[in-house]
Structures are given as structure tokens and as C-alpha cells.
Amino acid sequence: MPQLSPGETAPDFTLPAADGSTVSLAQLRDSADKGVVVYFYPAASTPGCTTQACDFRDSLAALQGQGYAVVGVSPDGTDTLARFAEAESLTFPLASDPDHEVIEAWGAWGEKKNYGRTYTGLIRSTVVVDPQGTVTLARYNVKATGHVARLRKDLGVD
């Protein structure tokens, strides 16, 4: 799958969310002065994904204070996401994409290597979209630990 690059238009989406509602990129763009941080993660409640989600949770006030909304997208079902959000006190939307439609459109699905094994799966990624729908930052194959701190620096939040 081709990955998104700065200057491209981000594909719009509407997905079911952990809280039973739906979440859309257009809705999030309308609610954020500077843009939307869309991050893709492989599986709720796994160590790396929990670390990353909690880093976003702990940085949420600073990101929102600078005009950014945050949404996490994974292939997990909404029940799994709801348990994850409750267990980790996550207050930003978690969206479910079990068919990988959005994940693939955003370039976050593809070949991965782990312990010498090659397989297809979700590529941990973060894309920032401005209020007009243009990609301003795209990072693929990010590490769960330290990624949010780097993102904050790149966005001028720190």
C-alpha cells in the first residue's frame, strides 16, 4: 500500500468508535484549530500499544491546548476498544477498522518483519492532518516508546 506524504489529501473516514458512536476525520478536523493526529496501532491491550496509547493520553491536554485532536485506529472490534479505553482511562476516540479499509487507504497496512519472519500486518504509524484535510506530517514504522515525545517536538508542543 502506498503511504501518505505531506501535501497529499488525507482520505476521509467514518468508523465505529469504542464508546458506541462513530468518529469521522471531517468531524475531528472541524473540532481542531491546527489539525488531527491519526495514529494506527496493531492491537489494543498489548504492551507496545498500551505504552503508546498512555503516552497519547498523558500528552492529550498539551496537544489539545495547541489545537490538535487525537484519534487511534486499529483493527480491533469496538468491544475490545471499549475495554482498552476503560482499563487505561483513554479519553480520546478509538476507532475500529476490522476490514482494514481505512488502515490500507492511509498506507498503514503492509509487509513487516519481526524476529526474521516476514508477514503482512498493521504498520504502527502516525499521520497529522490539517483542518483543510492536507497531510502535514506522516511517520511510518514508528516505535511505541518515545514516539509521542518526538511527535510533540515535531509539532512544537514542547
- pLDDT grade, residue 73 (50/70/90)? very high
Residue showing cell 468531524 = 27
CATH superfamily of 8-155: Glutaredoxin (3.40.30.10)
Q: How far apart are CA 107 and CA 45, in angstroms?
A: 23
Q: How far apart are CA 18 and CA 14, in angstroms?
A: 13
Residue extents of the structural domains in the chain:
8-155
Catalytic residue flag (residue 49): yes
**pLDDT, tens digit (0-9, with 9 covering 90-100), for 125-151:** 999 999 999 999 999 999 999 999 999
3-state secondary structure labels for all residues of the chain:
CCCCCCCCECCCCEEEECCCCEEEHHHHHHHCCCEEEEEECCCCCCHHHHHHHHHHHHHHHHHHHCCEEEEEEECCCHHHHHHHHHHHCCCCCEEECCCCHHHHHCCCEEEEEECCEEEEEECCEEEEECCCCEEEEEEECCCCCCHHHHHHHHCCCC
pTM: predicted TM-score of the whole model, two decimal places:
0.95
- pLDDT grade, residue 1 (50/70/90)? low
Q: Would you say residue 114 has pLDDT above 80? A: no
Residue of 17, 18, 23, 49 marked catalytic: 49
